[in-house]
Amino acid sequence: MPFPNLAGKQDAEPLVTPAEHSEYRHTEGESGRERLPAAVVLCYSRTLMDYLTESYDGQHVGNYYGDLYAFADADYSVGVLGNFGIGAPATAMLMDELIADGVGKFFSVGFAGCLDETIEMGEFIVCDEAIRDEGTSHHYVESAKYAHASDLLTEATIELLRERKEAFHVGPSWTTDAMYRETKEEVQQYAEEGVLTVEMEASAVFAVAAHRGVEAASMFVVSDYLGPSDWEPKFHLTREDMQHLGDTAKDVLAASPH
């Protein structure tokens, strides 16, 4: 059986386009398109979203699911979208709607489980490609093992981290929809392949960006360690690391041309 079930659907005409839905949504409520940021941080952590909106002056932008906030110190050209949940489907839907309204860059940030025990807590993981073990990406681009981050935005991220002498690693992630079905065999296999992390959004973010012709990058902080025989959660130790991650993503987007 092919996946998706109807082979070749990636180039087929959709029943409802993001632009059509955007037009309906903005006629039914407060429009925010006139002050929409050109670049958006995708944020899955409520704590990080609270930190960014409380630390930087700006304004709420309607009319989107979740909360979209534009930063004043970036002339409202950079914003953050959060409080919409987690996972590939919701993220892809919101990217489509924002792209239809004019957003051209996305930076997906959050926690990730780590498959490499040599990586220290607090070190950033720059994801250059992600295993497509979720369902959403396959509806956007032809099925393959990996989806790839945008070269320009990823290179800009690496350059900034080097300038600031940050501790970071560059490598692949494993994106999956089913957190509680991450098996010991998969963890061992992907670790042996050099996959650094596991999370729930990156491959879909990259696939949507590729399909729509926009840029997308992703970066994580380690929240837990996954080995073939045990699980070591560290979420409670990452508060400051996560805040620094959000600051850095915001800075990368602010420094990139819009």
pLDDT in tens, the chain (258 residues): 568 888 889 888 888 888 888 887 777 665 555 579 999 999 999 999 999 999 999 999 988 899 999 999 999 999 999 999 999 999 999 999 999 999 999 999 999 999 998 898 888 999 999 999 999 999 999 999 999 999 999 999 999 999 999 999 999 999 999 999 989 899 999 999 999 999 999 999 999 999 999 999 999 998 878 775 676 666 666 789 999 999 999 999 999 876
From residue 46, alpha-carbon distances to 17, 76, 93, 137 in Å are: 29, 21, 19, 25
Q: At 5, list the tokens.
A: 């079930």
pTM: 0.94
Q: How far apart are the first and last CA of the chain?
A: 42
Q: Which fold has domain 12-255?
A: Rossmann fold (3.40.50)
Report how far residue 88's alpha carbon sits from residue 245's, in angstroms, rounded to the nearest whole number. 20
In the DSSP assignment, the letter for residue 127 is E
